[in-house]
Structure 1
Amino acid sequence: MTCYSPFTSWFDRCVGSWNSDRSYRYFTPKGTIPQLIKTRFVTTHTGTCKYEVAWSSDMVDLSGEVLREASAGTMRLELSGDLLVRDIGYFSKEPTSCRLELVDEDTVVFHTAYGGSKYREEIRFIGDNIRLRQTIGFSEEGSLQLIGQYSETRRIDD
């Protein structure tokens, strides 16, 4: 199968093992809920325009108290032009797709909508071994639901 996507070279840079320190702010009617999550993930190239991300994460708050059980899983990705199809969503077990926007050779923006929410996620490489990432989520009505900021470092020792 032949595939064309202007995003393949950016996704190829993502291949490898990563640590991600994630800070989330959930906006609810009861107030803002902060969470700090440590995630480890591995991105592999599995075929023409296809990738897989396997992750495991701990759920702890800013003081280190465990909020819920750790999570783990695998997500399969396929590129087609400026579309990325995932076999599951971040907050859903259903397949999702998103439109990709290439800001520059280091930065991609993911525009996704599902489950009554819209998300904008930007991932920027700082060199080849560090990424900055941020996510903003809104309800269909336009209310802010989520802000996530991440610092990600490539695990060189794997």
Structure 2
Amino acid sequence: MTSVGMTTKTLESLSLEFFQQSAGQWQSQRRYYTLNKETEPQEVESLITIKFLEQGTPELIELAKLHQLDNLEALVGGTKVTWSSNYTGTIRKPSNGSTVFGVWENKLYRDRGFATTEPVVATYYFTNPQTMCLRTEYNGSVFEEEIKLIGQSYRTRQSIISRAGQELMIGQYLEKRLEN
């Protein structure tokens, strides 16, 4: 699914503008709701750093190799996202990590997925220039995500995780920019 009348070039340009606007450091508060059982929502606080990547950067070349793309410079741009997360109200180890995203046409290539360390590919589209939507499928699960820029200082995200047509979890995020 893509926005009506949108060319691949326009879609790629929108994604690069979106990633440039997202670059910086963010404080993220999120909550995960498990839908198929009575479980208390999980709350997580994170510090997220988003770095914009130009076409041809070493991270994007490596990502193209990981996905076995014929043209190692096919990815027109992307981001590197690093995070440090702490679960609140529960005894879980802090989580630290990073992931690289690269754009080519209507695909968003990643070096890892939400629930796997294997490389994955999402299809993306925009409902407007400030709202990117992703759909990723692997291991029998579907991950749908909407990321919305709100002015210069806030982002919201919502993720819905499904398996066999049944929604299992919803993640809702509010992110506040700390610095560019």
TM normalised by structure 2 equals: 0.78
**Structure 1 segments (4+ residues) deviating >3 Å:** none
Query: 2:35 corresponds to which residue?
Result: 27
Query: 2:24 corresponds to which residue?
Result: 16
Query: 1:120 corresponds to which residue?
Result: 144
1:96 to 116, 120, 127: 120
Shift of 1:11: 1.1
The 1:27/1:33 distance shift into structure 2, 3 A limit, reads farther
TM normalised by structure 1 equals: 0.88
Number of positions where the alignment pairs a residue of Structure 1 with one of Structure 2: 149
What amino acid is aligned across from residue 162 of structure 2 in structure 1? F
Partner Cα separation in structure 2 for residue 136 and residue 155 of structure 1: 26
Map Cα deviations across residues 75-103 of structure 1 (whole Å, 9 max, x no partner): 01110011100001111100011011111
Alignment partner of 1:74 is 2:94: no
Partner Cα separation in structure 1 for residue 91 and residue 131 of structure 2: 32
65-74 or 16-25, which moves further after superposition?
65-74
Q: Which secondary structure does the structure 1 equivalent of 2:35 belong to?
A: strand
Unaligned ranges ≥5, structure 2: 1-8, 56-76
* Partners of 1:15 and 1:45 within 8 A in 2: yes
What amino acid is aligned across from residue 67 of structure 1 in structure 2? I
Query: 1:134 corresponds to which residue?
Result: 158
CA RMSD of aligned residues (A): 1.6
Partner Cα separation in structure 2 for residue 124 and residue 39 of structure 1: 18
* Partners of 2:16 and 2:78 within 8 A in 1: no
Counterparts of 1:103-114 in structure 2, within 5 Å, are 103-114=127-138
Unaligned ranges ≥5, structure 1: none
What amino acid is aligned across from residue 84 of structure 2 in structure 1? S
The 1:67/1:143 distance shift into structure 2, 3 A limit, reads farther
| Identical-pair percentage | 30
Higher strand share: 1
Q: Which secondary structure does the structure 1 equivalent of 2:113 belong to?
A: coil
Q: Which secondary structure does the structure 1 equivalent of 2:93 belong to?
A: strand
